[in-house]
Amino acid sequence: MRKRLFTPTPQGVQPHEEGWLDLDRAASVEVTSEEKDYGIESALVSGEAHGWRAASRGTQTIRLLFDQPQKLRRILLVFEETATPRTQEFVLRWSADDGHSFREIVRQQWNFSPPNTTREIEEYHVQLSDVTSSRTGHRAGHQSWNGSRIA
């Protein structure tokens, strides 16, 4: 399945338009599941407020497959949980060999405690060359992902 991606503008995050990849033209996406009306495009399309949600519990994977090798300098991720207290864990990885092997960028875990702690914004400054794919693995109860940008 090939999905079309767009450069997102996560709600509450000031966009830096210059330099962000146009994912709609640069990549396809693979996802292990998505809830109806909360497709992965919702986390990547500018102006969308509700983001992506997994259709099932457990570990979820989102993989971007770049059409051409990319040089990445920044990665921005926004996670949101407004209803249920839970622990969120994610692992961000990249590959230079079309996904045959991955190198870890970061592994992060935190707790959501609505209504006080409902949003986590992660921005990483990286120097990665010849990136052919990136993979984000999420583990928690019911995952949601509200936005992403890559430069």
The residue extents of the domains of the chain are: 23-150
Write the CB contacts of 94 (distance below 8 Å, at least 6 apart in sequence): 72, 102, 103, 105, 128, 131, 133, 134, 135
Longest Cα–Cα distance of the chain, Å, equals: 42
Structure tokens at 104: 């870890």
The span from the first CA to the last CA of the chain, in angstroms, equals 24
pLDDT surpassing 50 at residue 14:
no
Write the CB contacts of 128 (distance below 8 Å, at least 6 apart in sequence): 71, 72, 94, 105
Residue with token string 């059409």:
67
pLDDT surpassing 90 at residue 93:
yes
CATH assignment, 23-150: 2.60.120.260
* pTM, full prediction: 0.79
- Residue 2 — pLDDT band, cuts 50, 70, 90? low
| pLDDT tens digits, 121-151 | 899 999 999 999 998 887 655 556 666 777 6
Return the pLDDT at 11: 43
H helices, E strands: number in the chain: 2, 8
Q: Among 137, 124, 142, 128, which residue's Cα sits nearest to residue 35?
A: 142
Peptide bond into 115 cis (omega under 30): yes
Q: What is the mean pLDDT of residues 25-38?
A: 88
